[in-house]
């Protein structure tokens, strides 16, 4: 199989490498995440201008005809700089729902805004008691004439403080954990009855607790078929997992490089600690885990268009393997750096946090191990 990237993808990678190097040096990023806004709209505008936000969309939908591999290229470079702008919630998740199930009117209304950077989405799917089960929903959308009345609570909605719109999963019929009766809606965050509580996350991003209190939404807000959205949700979240796996590969690569460089500079007993064979072995283990993670990311990404079972098997296998690798690389990086690695004085602490938080998004290692086993 040919794993070479196209000339256009290489150009995108080179452009993003320069952007991350210039816009996401350690001191600048630390200032951004400590600011009140927590992100930079001007960087988002740059991404739109470069065509990054439109890459995964077809030309018919107003994009540039790319796909999952293009998103993988983008996310790996974002991982290297710990970019906080909401590419996954907006482009991968919201864009995914619109691409796969949006009506022509919905695509026309929203995709253009995603591509030009004027419309930002957050994906409100997780609930306090859901534990990675997309069907475990207490948020409800009850029919009201031709529209719906939305009530419920969504937890840790990444990117919601910056969003103009939300993609919301809700139960339109059935019992709490039924697989049928689940629907997906587009909701304006400014709609009456939407209440948010914003906060920073451990890894430098921002999220919200989102409460829906008798929010009236029209029939045009429904994406796809009412009550039949679970397969769609699983497809889009698998695409998000693959994108995040690519991001984490970028994080791993930089964390390993930082650790090797630190081991050359830090001296003990008059010699660099990198000369100690036991530490060399540990850094080789880190590199091996990184290389395996890259391969698993390719596996997941290239199977996103396969049949449902094959896609789920590949994505869950990648999430398990990369989750384990992220844990090892993060732990080893901190241990080799010593106590300084846990402070804000060194960038490695932030890379460790992102590697750690990855496990909890869209299902942890245990969850995906069980999903993989259930399919085999």
pLDDT for residue 295 is more than 60: yes
Say what the pLDDT of residue 273 is.
Answer: 87
Say what the pLDDT of residue 2 is.
Answer: 63
State what percent of residues in the chain have pLDDT above 70.
99
Say what the pLDDT of residue 162 is.
Answer: 96
- pLDDT 10s digits, 96-106: 999 999 999 99
Instruction: Note if the pTM is more than 0.85.
Output: yes
- Range with top average pLDDT, 51-55, 164-168, 265-269: 164-168
- pLDDT 10s digits, 109-153: 999 999 999 999 999 999 998 889 999 999 999 999 999 999 999
Choice between 65 and 44, residue whose per-residue pLDDT is larger: 44
Say what the pLDDT of residue 62 is.
Answer: 83
Long-range contacts of 41-47 (CB under 8 A, 24+ apart): 43/19, 43/83, 43/85, 44/85, 44/117, 44/120, 45/117, 46/19, 47/19, 47/85, 47/87, 47/117
Contacts of 41 (CB under 8 A, 6+ apart): none
pLDDT for residue 23 is more than 60: yes
Say what the pLDDT of residue 64 is.
Answer: 85
| Mean of pLDDT over the chain | 95
State what percent of residues in the chain have pLDDT above 90.
86
Model confidence band, residue 56 (pLDDT cutoffs 50, 70, 90): confident
Phi and psi at 270, nearest 5°, equal: 80, 5
**Cα–Cα distance, 372 to 254 (Å, whole number):** 29
Contacts of 260 (CB under 8 A, 6+ apart): 274, 283
Say what the pLDDT of residue 1 is.
Answer: 56
pLDDT for residue 275 is more than 90: no
Mean pLDDT score, 40-60: 93
- pLDDT 10s digits, 27-45: 999 999 999 999 999 999 9
Say what the pLDDT of residue 343 is.
Answer: 81
């Amino acid at each position: 199989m040919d794993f070479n990237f196209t000339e256009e993808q290489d150009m995108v990678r080179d452009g993003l490498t320069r952007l991350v190097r210039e816009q996401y040096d350690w001191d600048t990023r630390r200032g951004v995440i400590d600011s009140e806004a927590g992100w930079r709209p001007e960087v988002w505008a740059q991404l739109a201008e470069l065509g990054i936000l439109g890459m995964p969309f077809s030309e018919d939908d107003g994009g540039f005809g790319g796909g999952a591999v293009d998103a993988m290229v983008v996310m790996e470079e974002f991982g290297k700089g710990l970019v906080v702008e909401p590419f996954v919630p907006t482009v991968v998740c919201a864009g995914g729902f619109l691409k796969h199930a949006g009506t022509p009117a919905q695509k026309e209304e929203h995709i253009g805004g995603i591509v030009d950077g004027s419309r930002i989405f957050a994906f409100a799917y997780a609930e306090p008691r859901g534990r990675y089960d997309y069907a475990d929903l207490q948020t409800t959308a009850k029919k009201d004439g031709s529209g719906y009345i939305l009530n419920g609570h969504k937890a840790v909605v990444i990117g919601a403080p910056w969003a103009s719109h939300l993609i919301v999963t809700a139960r339109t019929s059935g019992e709490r954990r039924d697989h049928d009766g689940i629907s997906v809606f587009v909701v304006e965050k400014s709609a009456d009855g939407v209440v948010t509580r914003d906060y920073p996350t451990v890894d430098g991003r921002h999220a919200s607790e989102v409460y829906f209190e008798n929010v009236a939404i029209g029939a045009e807000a429904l994406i796809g078929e009412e009550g039949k959205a679970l397969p769609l949700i699983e497809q889009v979240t698998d695409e998000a997992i693959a994108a995040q796996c690519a991001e984490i590969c970028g994080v791993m690569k930089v964390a390993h490089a930082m650790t090797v460089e630190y081991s050359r500079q830090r001296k003990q007993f008059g010699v660099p600690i990198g000369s100690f064979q036991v530490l060399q072995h540990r850094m080789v283990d880190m590199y091996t885990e990184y290389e395996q993670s890259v391969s698993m990311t390719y596996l997941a990404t290239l199977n996103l268009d396969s049949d449902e079972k094959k896609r789920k098997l590949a994505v869950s296998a990648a999430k398990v393997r990369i989750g384990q690798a992220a844990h090892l690389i993060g732990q080893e990086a901190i241990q080799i750096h010593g106590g300084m690695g846990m402070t804000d004085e060194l960038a490695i602490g932030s890379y460790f946090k992102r590697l750690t938080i990855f496990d909890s998004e869209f299902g942890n290692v245990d969850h995906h191990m069980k999903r993989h086993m259930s399919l085999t």
